Amino acid sequence: MSAAHLLYTSATWLLTPLAPFILKRRLGQGKEDPVRLPERMGITRTSRPKGHLVWLHAASVGEAVSLLTLVDRFRQSRPDLRLLITTGTLTSAHLMAKRLPADVIHQFIPLDSPAYIARFLDHWQPDVGLIVESELWPNLILMAAKRGVKMGLINARFSQSSYEGWGKASGFLKSILTSFELILAQDSDSKLRLEARGARAVHSAGNLKFDAPPPTAAPEQLEALRQAVAGRPLWLAASTHPGEEDIISQAHILLKKTFPDLLTVLVPRHPERGVNIGDMLDAQGLRVATRTVSYLPPEVCDIMMVDTLGELGLFYALCPIVFVGGSLVPIGGHNLLEAARLNCALLTGSHTDNFKEVIETFKAAQAIDIVENAEELAARIALFLKDEAQRTTQADRALQAAQDLAGVTDKVWAHITPLLPPPRAALTPVNLGDPN
């Protein structure tokens, strides 16, 4: 055991008595579900189903959505296996409640305390564990592998900053990475970095998010929104982060000079920020309606802020022009493919390191515009609002580019199949002979 490993394990044991207080604080911040809080300590009221169980873990919304096509493949190809999905955020739990099939179990992942992880593993006893992207919780992974759970890291993303950040604990990281019997990297750069840190059995399979289905929209809700905004020019700023809302508001103010009845739909990545965002917009003299108060945007509204969970698909379907956030500030960008598959003309900022391959594909297809500031954002939106043919052409290109990137699930399935328990043999009818 490396010094870093020993230090981490000791620290998590020592901090375990403080975990209830940490969770209580998070609960007060609206970051935990009060009913399901025990799950964060490895306690559950849900029974383990009989038979072989495959456990898949994703950190948050984007990673969880990427699992949906894989869940469908499991249910189609291996209906004998039971599925458990774990995530770590309230937003992802709400999303999974809406989009997972009824026979797939969702739980919150426990905090990375040895005591909590032991409870979790004792109860669920998974045969296989598949971790998504870069959710490398040491106790979770090392304890599961030690118990004989066949572990795989899929859709693995390992950035240069992560590679450098683990430099002083490379031995500890190697012990974590070698606990995986299979690692499927999103791209060749991640593959090379993982191998340089000691990972084995690494393959480059592409990004599961390339196959993620677009979010759904209830037809009656979509029709109500369309009637409420009929005749108004509108656009959507999706998954925004601190620092971006001010740029969005400045773009709206610039656009209003040409489009006085413009409606900007704003969907912050974290809805709990809605009050602070609303105060900032009010201070700029903008008339703001929130989804939780004004279910439909009123006529005198400048900004419609969607401070609810799980409705992004509805507003992608409503708005023909979409800016995808996390990209005007150094977050790394968010998934463009959902909006592309719903035939939206796309814009994003330049901070898109999380989706390099997507951006390169979309650039090559002339299917996206990169903007740096409010002036560039407003100018491009104005062009799309004035020229429907150009907007439609760019949306069509984006849809085609998204389709060209699909097919990753097939590659991932081929790699993970050897990890799975063998299918249960079909029961052979017993010949009881001629009763006569």
Q: Report the share of the chain in percent with pLDDT over 70.
A: 97
Could you tell me the pLDDT band of residue 21, with boundaries at 50, 70 and 90? very high
Confidence check: pLDDT of 165 > 70 = yes
Are residues 269 and 191 part of one domain?
no
Helix (H, G, I), strand (E, B) or coil at 242: coil
Confidence check: pLDDT of 2 > 80 = no
CA 128, CA 148: separation in Å to the nearest integer? 9
Q: Does residue 363 fall inside a structural domain?
A: yes
H-helix or E-strand spanning residue 106 = strand 105-108
Q: For 394-431, what is each residue's pLDDT tens digit?
A: 999 999 999 999 999 999 999 999 999 999 754 344 44
Q: Does residue 436 fall inside a structural domain?
A: no
State how far the alpha carbon of 335 is from the alpha carbons of 242, 259, 325, in Å.
Answer: 18, 29, 9
Q: For 131-161, what is each residue's pLDDT tens digit?
A: 999 889 999 999 999 999 999 999 999 988 8
Are residues 265 and 205 part of one domain?
no
We report the CATH number of the domain holding residue 174 as 3.40.50.11720
Q: Which residue has the tokens 């413009």?
A: 262
We report the CATH number of the domain holding residue 374 as 3.40.50.2000
Q: For 102-123, what is each residue's pLDDT tens digit?
A: 999 999 999 999 999 999 999 9
H-helix or E-strand spanning residue 225 = helix 219-228
Instruction: Tell me which of 63, 244, 245, 338 is the catalytic residue.
Output: 63
Q: Does residue 64 fall inside a structural domain?
A: yes
Are residues 243 and 179 part of one domain?
no
CA 172, CA 5: separation in Å to the nearest integer? 6
Q: For 277-293, what is each residue's pLDDT tens digit?
A: 999 999 999 999 999 99
Are residues 225 and 200 part of one domain?
no
CA 287, CA 278: separation in Å to the nearest integer? 9
Are residues 45 and 183 part of one domain?
yes
Instruction: Return the pLDDT at 425.
Output: 56
Active site residue 372: no
For residue 413, the tally of other CB atoms under 10 A from its CB is 17
Could you tell me the pLDDT band of residue 4, with boundaries at 50, 70 and 90? confident
Give every CB contact of residue 224 below 8 A, 6+ residues apart in sequence. 296
Are residues 171 and 148 part of one domain?
yes
Q: Does residue 51 fall inside a structural domain?
A: yes
Instruction: Return the pLDDT at 418.
Output: 96
Higher pLDDT, 435 or 267: 267
For residue 79, the tally of other CB atoms under 10 A from its CB is 10
Q: Does residue 66 fall inside a structural domain?
A: yes
Are residues 251 and 184 part of one domain?
no
Instruction: Return the pLDDT at 30.
Output: 87
Confidence check: pLDDT of 54 > 90 = yes
Q: How far is CA 77 from the centre of its chain?
A: 24
Are residues 382 and 412 part of one domain?
no
Give every CB contact of residue 297 below 8 A, 6+ residues apart in sequence. 225, 228, 229, 263, 265, 289, 304
Q: Does residue 160 fall inside a structural domain?
A: yes
Instruction: Return the pLDDT at 233.
Output: 97
Could you tell me the pLDDT band of residue 168, with boundaries at 50, 70 and 90? confident
Q: Which of 1-9's residues contact partners 24+ apart within 8 Å by CB, and which partners?
A: 1/175, 2/169, 2/171, 2/172, 2/175, 4/168, 4/169, 4/171, 4/172, 5/138, 5/171, 5/172, 5/175, 8/138, 8/139, 8/172, 9/114, 9/138, 9/139
Could you tell me the pLDDT band of residue 216, with boundaries at 50, 70 and 90? confident
Are residues 224 and 130 part of one domain?
no
Mean pLDDT of 228-245: 97
- In the predicted model, what is the mean pLDDT of the chain? 93
Q: Which residue has the tokens 């010094």?
A: 3
Q: What are the phi and psi torsion angles at 179 (to 5°)?
A: -75, -15
Locate the DSSP E strands across 260-306: 263-268, 288-290, 303-305
Are residues 98 and 50 part of one domain?
yes
Instruction: Give the gyration radius of the chain's Cα atoms.
Output: 24
Q: Does residue 325 fall inside a structural domain?
A: yes
Q: Which domain holds residue 347?
A: 219-404
The number of distinct structural domains making up the chain is 2
* Burial class of residue 219 (count of CB atoms within 10 Å of its CB; 0-12, 13-18, 19+): exposed
- Closest Cα partner for 339 from 274, 282, 265? 265
Mean pLDDT of 178-183: 97
Q: Does residue 430 fall inside a structural domain?
A: no
Are residues 185 and 57 part of one domain?
yes
Are residues 237 and 205 part of one domain?
no
Q: Report the share of the chain in percent with pLDDT over 90.
A: 83
Helix (H, G, I), strand (E, B) or coil at 235: strand
Helix (H, G, I), strand (E, B) or coil at 311: coil
- Closest Cα partner for 177 from 154, 197, 207? 197
Confidence check: pLDDT of 221 > 80 = yes
Q: For 304-354, what is each residue's pLDDT tens digit?
A: 999 998 899 999 999 999 999 999 999 999 999 999 999 999 999 999 988
